[in-house]
């Protein structure tokens, strides 16, 4: 039954289903014209599979780690010890790299800010 609010006719709808059938079944574009396909990644594109946490020793690491901790923890997580921070990070599905950094925190300290967390990891802001 037609409601009258459809933007396409029944024939056009069937035609579009037929056009997409190959894409849905194969999982990749099926058009003959190359310009329809998305452009592949270049060799010099940054790695996005590693996640937002930078590798140790990279430029701006302290700022990036502080940003990621602040984004995941928020203000309500403090004050907290290492176990409390790990619990919050796991509850908020933080990246594995960030959790691994938090596991390096000393167990005998209570942290009041994200900056204290980053300093306890031995990271210094770049100048």
Report pLDDT for 109: 92
pLDDT of residue 65: 85
Predicted pLDDT at 112: 92
Q: How high is the pLDDT of residue 63?
A: 83
Regions of the chain short of the pLDDT cut 50: 49-50
Q: Which helix (H) or strand (E) holds 111?
A: strand 110-111
Tell me the torsion sign for CA atoms 47, 53, 56, 58. Answer: positive
Q: What is the pLDDT of residue 71?
A: 87
pLDDT value of position 50? 47
pTM over 0.85: no
E strand or H helix that includes residue 96: helix 96-103
Cα 68-72-78 angle, rounded to 5 deg: 110
């Amino acid at each position: 039954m037609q409601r009258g609010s459809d933007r396409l006719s029944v024939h056009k709808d069937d035609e579009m289903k037929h056009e997409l059938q190959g894409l849905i079944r194969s999982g990749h574009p099926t058009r003959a014209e190359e310009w329809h396909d998305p452009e592949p990644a270049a060799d010099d594109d940054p790695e996005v599979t590693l996640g937002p946490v930078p590798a140790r020793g990279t430029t701006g690491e302290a700022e990036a780690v502080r940003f990621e901790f602040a984004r995941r923890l928020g203000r309500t997580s403090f004050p907290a010890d290492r176990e409390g921070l790990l619990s919050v990070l796991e509850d908020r599905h933080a990246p594995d790299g960030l959790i691994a950094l938090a596991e390096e925190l000393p167990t005998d300290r209570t942290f009041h800010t994200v900056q204290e967390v980053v300093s306890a990891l031995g990271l210094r802001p770049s100048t």
